[in-house]
Amino acid sequence: MKKAAWFAIGFAAYLGAMWFYLFHGADTALPVHLKGSAADPAMFMNERQLSLSYDFSRIKDFIYFVSVPLEWLIYLLVLGFGLSRRFRETAQGLTRFSVVHSALYVLFLSAASWILTFPLRYYSYTVSKSYKVSVQHFDGWMKDSLVDFWIGYAFTVVMVGAIYWLMKKSEKKWWLYAWLLSIPFTIFMYFIQPVLIDPLYNEFSPLKDQALKEKILLLADKADIPADNVYEVNMSEKTNSLNAYVNGIGSNLRIVLWDTTLNKLSDSQVLFVMAHEMGHYVMNHLYWNLISSIVLSFLGLYFGNMLYRRWIKKYGDAWGIKGISDIAALPALLLIFSLLGFAVSPVENAISRSAERDADQYAIEMTKNPEAAVGAFQELTVSGLSEVNPPKLVKFFLYGHPTMLERISFLDAQRTSKDK
């Protein structure tokens, strides 16, 4: 109980420090040389939009910095208060079939985590709704949340079942065998996501605007992208934000536009956005993402195994865990993977930002329309109430894209050089 109290005090102190940093301590002033430029939000947002953008962005950033350690805290409490051991014992008491034990245990742990994090997720939803970034009704949001839960549960059951089976077979090399099994699984997920998983959340249909479709397919042909269709997805019933993407591999490659993007951007702006997404394909970013996922999973499993073994050796008795292959140790393993993922996220984000800059450059070279590019990002900023120049810590941990300040100023420089 004393340790729990200290955890609670430390968590409260952390929240206070993050709140102060985000709302009072961070320097987000616009560089003097960019004032009055196309990247200056005062040039394309009114006073109310500027105020809403600041408040919305900071609240959402704060929610993120609350949610990450909250997940860690939940895992520690489940272990420290003996709940994990009780979940295991309950699962074993419900059936004599050992193959079902891990599935039941994962259900108990997932349900507990989902319930404990629900208030924060609901608050995040209400914030987006109150700032009119989200327009989704509660029942639709709840449906998506439940779909998330059951999809996550299904994949977790498969992965956890495989990992703990491997642990029982080989306590020393389970992590290596798990990594080898993860490679075809990761490739399979990249292949099936556009056609099996994405449609569970949204309705996809061929792009209705035939003239725009032809323009996009001409761009794709110019970029040597093997696409014969363009899809639009009905997102206007959920959000006012804009987005477009190219995902999938092989025959399941899909070019997708949110209908909000189609409704709010001109054709020339849409073409720039699509050229940017095609740039990711042309420069093999999709495949590099796949390779990096495989490499990072190797490193995560290797270092995760070392930490996991030490933790179980040191704290296993106190947590009521019988050994590394005990399913009751799962919260410790998930905590370790979450910590490692958080630690490596700044590096992943930096690499991602570089790829996004390259895609912007590619799109400019393909469309030769920096005016449309600048306008597209300005509209993206307004629609999503994005902060043009976020705090450095936010950019460090959250931004896989360059900030809007960086993107618009880069594109505006391209426009200026073209005019000369």
Alpha-carbon 87 to chain mean position: 29
The response to whether 237 counts as a known ligand-binding position is no
Rg of the chain over Cα atoms, rounded to whole angstroms, equals: 24
What is the C-alpha separation between 106 and 327, in angstroms, rounded? 9
Is residue 280 part of an annotated ligand binding site?
Answer: yes
Task: Give the H or E element holding residue 53.
Answer: helix 47-80
Report the Cα–Cα distance between both ends of the chain, in Å, rounded.
Answer: 69
Element (H, E) at 256: strand 254-258
What whole-number distance in Å separates Cα of residue 270 and Cα of residue 219?
12
- Alpha carbons 114 and 127: distance in angstroms, whole number: 19
Answer yes or no: 237 catalytic: no
Contacts for 367 with CB less than 8 Å, ≥ 6 apart? 219, 268, 271, 272, 275, 373
Residues 56 and 241: their CA atoms lie apart, in Å, by 13
Give the integer Cα–Cα distance in Å for 30 and 40. 7
Which listed residue (232, 259, 277, 387) is catalytic? Answer: 277
Distance CA 282, CA 397 (A): 27
Which residue shows structure tokens 């900030």?
403
Is 387 among the catalytic positions?
A: no
Residue among 61, 326, 360, 387 flagged as catalytic: 360
The answer on whether 33 is annotated among ligand-binding residues is no
Q: How many angstroms separate the CA atoms of 52 and 308, rounded?
A: 44
- Binding-site residues, please? 276, 280, 356
> Annotated active-site positions, please?
277, 360
Residues of the binding site for Zn(2+) = 276, 280, 356
